[in-house]
Amino acid sequence: MAANNPNSKEKKSVMQSVLLCCKLHISESRNREALESIQRAAKHDPETVIVNIFEDREYNRINYTLVSYVIHDATTGSPIYCPLQQTVVAIAAAAYDGINLELHSGAHPRLGVVDDITVHPLARASLDEAAWLAKRLAAEFGNRFQVPVYLYNDAHPTGKALDTIRRELGYYRPNLRGIQWAGWPHMESLPVKPDEGPDVVSRARGITMIGARAWVAMYNVPIMSTDVSAARRIAARVSARGGGLPAVQTLGLLHGEGTTEIACILLEPNQIGADHVQNRVEMLAAQEDLDVEKGYFTDFSPEMILETYMKLINAS
């Protein structure tokens, strides 16, 4: 179709205008064979740009940040094509082939092999366009891979939040010694009907969350202690849910032999940023006589992602 194959001048204009960013969180970072297969799949389409890859062996989790353009129908203006869709599906196929959730363990919660997919608008894209792609991905995952899919935020009919769905599904409850997640979680049936896919779960694949939302930042603060209970107390008092910082969600997790972490999602990073979180964690940790290291982001800012994308497509 002509809409999917613009000439080079038109195509370059499209590739630099309406852009979507897709973040994939996959439950694996130790199986090199599986990761190499996923990496090959991530290069499935040269018009999808891999902007960042973040691996965490302790959490046994890898995050991909991908960017590509959106093509619209010339008559209606509706989105009709984005290379991200086929790239994400190719990555998922490789992940499901190479990873068995029943054999997985890690210090980070998860409910699926392809645990979470978030679509963010970039450049002149809108949340409506991000939601369009999220819904297309959800339908394909449900039909092709036969995994239950839960939509969230702007992709959900009522805007249901990701953390609300996760809480309903038991995402935050460790199932091994109170500090680790291993194998398929203990639930035997799904307490909430999925938006796409079957009502039964493959223990090898689990379920997938797919959503669209405005930009959020992931910021983790290391604490020099293995006291998970202390980390959880601090995390609770940092989060909005616990009466702490507005628009901040947190988890207190074990992270390696000598540290724990306060893993944070900053829902409004331009309002409540990393410096606010860092200061609050340091203050609360001092009350527990614990040392804190400087935190780190697990991904680039939207501005850095856009800049990296532009450099890579212009170079190619």
In the set 25, 104, 108, 156, the catalytic residue is 108
To the query of whether residue 108 is one of the catalytic residues in this protein, the response is yes
- For residues 210 and 150, the answer to whether their CB atoms sit within 8 Å is yes
- For residues 108 and 60, the answer to whether their CB atoms sit within 8 Å is yes
Catalytic residues: 108
